[in-house]
Amino acid sequence: MISEAAPVSLAELQAGLASQLDATRHQIGRAIAADFNLIADVNSHLMQMQGKMFRPTLLFLVNRAIGVPDAREVHLAAVVELIHLATLVHDDSVDHSVLRRGMPTINALFSHQVSVIMGDYLYSRAVIELVKIGDLKALDVLSRVTNEMTIGEMRQLLAHE
């Protein structure tokens, strides 16, 4: 007889990953840091809007399941989260959203133009982080995924209009 496992919450899954998730948040902050005041202001707001870190959690859990430690895991988790953040910033701009996670969006707080440019900035920072690792396969995947996401956003925009 197969017994059903009790559901596990995200918080329970993340409890054993606290140090990796903290390191990922630090890595994201380091990756997006800028000397340009407007970007620094937007970054400060973005860091306050931190989400559940679901994607980095999945990355860490898969890495554990594989059983082969990967020294790049925090770096890659930050890249995954940067890409996700970029898609949210762009999506909020396209949808003219004013709130995300109970806080004003970049679009609402700054402007539509700043939101679009900031999404691009986050994508470019993700690419820079992958270049630092020197992982061409990851760069290939990122370039293909961002291209598909862009096409998907265009399709969504056309369907909405």
Cα of 80 vs its chain's centroid, Å:
5
Q: If residue 117 lies in a helix (H) or strand (E), which one and from where to where?
A: helix 112-133
Give me the residue label for tokens 């990953």: 17
How confident is the model over 39-55, as pLDDT tens digits? 999 999 999 988 899 99
- pLDDT value of position 114: 95
Please count the other Cβ atoms lying within 10 Å of the Cβ belonging to residue 153. 14
Q: Which of the four pLDDT bands, split at 50, 70 and 90, describes residue 70?
A: confident
Enumerate residues 6+ apart whose C-beta is below 8 A from 29.
43, 47
How confident is the model over 85-142, as pLDDT tens digits? 999 999 899 889 999 988 999 999 999 999 999 999 999 999 999 999 888 888 898 8
The encoded tokens of residue 81 equal 């989260």
139 contacts 127 by C-beta, under 8 angstroms: yes
Enumerate residues 6+ apart whose C-beta is below 8 A from 100.
49, 88, 92
CA distance 10 to 30: 25
Q: Is the pLDDT reported for residue 1 higher than 80?
A: no
CA distance 99 to 90: 13
Average pLDDT of the chain?
Answer: 91
The vertex-89 CA angle with 15 and 9, nearest 5°, equals 20
Q: Is the pLDDT reported for residue 65 higher than 80?
A: yes
Enumerate residues 6+ apart whose C-beta is below 8 A from 13.
57, 61
The encoded tokens of residue 57 equal 């959690």
